[in-house]
């Protein structure tokens, strides 16, 4: 690894020189085998100068960032992390900790006050050389069931309990938990036992990795009599459904009157026929999502004759919605933080 770090430092310096604005110069002593850091000096066009410490790491996960920040603080020098590739979540953690970074795909962020310099460029968001087979996202029905189980449980569940609760192979559960641990979405104690779950961050990551169209077939419809008439018919409807998104969130954390009713269902055409809906591309006020399994219905509750999806399901559906959906999701997350004893079983 020390040989790799040494090579990364040399390549990182070349990449930095290529990214500097005209008139800027970076100088550093030659690196040697075993070096994982180097102290450089930056000089601007006005001859102002300042130090910059480059720290090479072959692989950086979000859980590594806290230790890197402590190391940088102890050095007393502005620090930039150099790596082969840095994931989006790792880069976000580095920004939060005030660390610069540079990866060899072109993801660069360097903000210095002396001399005054700001460089930020976008590279790639997927590791072009990754070969490992472990879980790397929360896309897919099985990952979604695991997220719901992790978020909704009042106490963290072990691998076997999660596997039993979701009917998923324990090996897959273990791989997903390792991924979530690396992304600092969960923490694990001795022997891999699950300790804590950062459920708001986990829901946000699930929404990012698995937008609504990837989780079910989406169709849009029009109820010409409006949402009030629709909810009256839903209260007596004999088709399976679960209300989600804005219409569900407005019951717990209203932001504005809902303009679109979103329902999870098994068969969109049968549900639309039962409710008297018309197909509509423009001007739709109803969205039906066909569920790939029963997870969107797990934890649903009935209130005044209407069936609502669980808050965790509602949040992730809102986060991927257009318009004010994300703002409604954040309002619901705030409500959920204040009422964990109500919705976590």
Does the predicted model carry a pTM greater than 0.75?
Answer: no
pLDDT in tens, 212-269: 999 999 999 999 999 999 999 999 998 999 999 999 999 999 998 999 999 999 999 9
Instruction: Delineate the domains of the chain, giving CATH numbers in brackets.
Output: 2-121 (no CATH), 141-209 (1.10.10.10), 212-343 (3.30.460)
> Which residue(s) pair with 335 in the sheet?
none
What is the DSSP code (8-state) at residue 42? Answer: E
Structural tokens at position 98: 């005030």
Cα Rg, the chain, nearest whole Å: 25
Dihedral of CA atoms 235, 239, 240, 243 in degrees, nearest 10, equals: -40
Q: 94, exposed or middle or buried, with CB in 10 Å at 0-12, 13-18, 19+?
A: buried
pLDDT at residue 188 above 90? no
State how far the Cα of 85 lies from the Cα of 82, in Å rounded to an integer.
Answer: 9
Q: Three-state SS for 217?
A: strand
pLDDT tens for each residue of 55-111? 988 888 898 999 999 999 999 999 999 998 998 889 999 999 999 999 988 999 999
């Amino acid at each position: 690894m020390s040989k790799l770090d040494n090579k990364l430092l040399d390549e990182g310096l070349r990449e930095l020189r290529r990214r500097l604005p005209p008139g800027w110069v970076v100088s550093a002593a030659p690196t040697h085998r075993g070096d994982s850091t180097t102290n450089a000096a930056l000089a601007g066009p006005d001859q102002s100068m300042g130090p910059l410490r480059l720290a090479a790491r072959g692989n950086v996960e979000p859980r590594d960032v806290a230790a890197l920040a402590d190391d940088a603080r102890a050095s007393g020098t502005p620090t930039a992390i150099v790596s082969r590739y840095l994931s989006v979540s790792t880069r976000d953690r580095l920004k939060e900790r005030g660390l610069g970074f540079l990866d060899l795909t072109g993801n660069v962020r360097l903000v210095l006050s002396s001399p005054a310099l700001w460089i930020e460029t976008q590279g790639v968001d997927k590791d072009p050389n990754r070969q490992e087979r472990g879980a790397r996202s929360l896309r897919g029905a099985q990952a979604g069931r695991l997220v719901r189980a992790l978020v909704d449980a009042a106490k963290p569940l072990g691998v076997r309990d999660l596997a039993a609760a979701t009917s998923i192979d324990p090996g897959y559960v273990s791989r997903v938990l390792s991924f979530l641990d690396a992304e600092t979405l969960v923490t694990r104690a001795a022997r891999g036992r699950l300790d804590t779950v950062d459920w708001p961050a986990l829901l946000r990551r699930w929404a990012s990795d698995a937008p609504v169209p990837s989780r079910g077939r989406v169709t849009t419809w029009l109820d010409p009599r409006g949402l009030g008439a629709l909810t009256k018919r839903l209260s007596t409807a004999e088709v399976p459904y679960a209300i989600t998104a804005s219409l569900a969130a407005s019951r717990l954390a209203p932001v504005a009157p809902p303009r679109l009713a979103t329902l999870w269902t098994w068969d969109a055409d049968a549900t639309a026929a039962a409710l008297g809906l018309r197909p509509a591309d423009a001007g739709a006020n109803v969205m039906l999502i066909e569920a790939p399994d029963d997870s969107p219905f797990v934890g649903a509750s009935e209130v005044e004759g209407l069936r609502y999806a669980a808050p965790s399901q509602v949040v992730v559906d809102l986060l991927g919605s257009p318009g004010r959906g994300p703002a409604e999701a954040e309002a619901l997350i705030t409500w959920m933080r204040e009422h964990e004893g109500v919705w976590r079983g």
